[in-house]
């Protein structure tokens, strides 16, 4: 499975993050471009936060 470098960095940061919904210290799971809590499954990272694609 190929992951985007930004997603990998976000997962490393998120491993120690506590979910604001269920309170569990759990990593993010990336599904269809958004990050969700590995325990409760609620989206905690939106799919698009204004990023743009640069084609150089």
Report the run of H or E that residue 16 belongs to, with start and end: none
pLDDT at 12 over 90: no
Query: Residue range 2-28: average pLDDT?
Result: 71
Question: Other C-beta atoms within 10 Å of 26: how many?
Answer: 19
pLDDT at 47 over 60: yes
d(CA 19, CA 23): 5
* Alpha-helical runs (H) found in the chain: 5-14
pLDDT at 40 over 90: yes
Mean of the per-residue pLDDT values of the chain? 76
Domain ranges of the chain: 5-45
- In the structure, what pLDDT confidence band is assigned to residue 51 with cuts at 50, 70 and 90? low
pLDDT at 1 over 50: no
């Amino acid at each position: 499975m190929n992951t985007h470098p930004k997603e990998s960095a976000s997962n490393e940061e998120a491993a120690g993050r506590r979910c604001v919904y269920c309170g569990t210290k759990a990593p993010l799971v990336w599904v269809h471009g958004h990050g969700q809590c590995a325990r409760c499954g609620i989206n905690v990272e939106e799919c698009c936060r204004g990023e743009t694609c640069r084609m150089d």
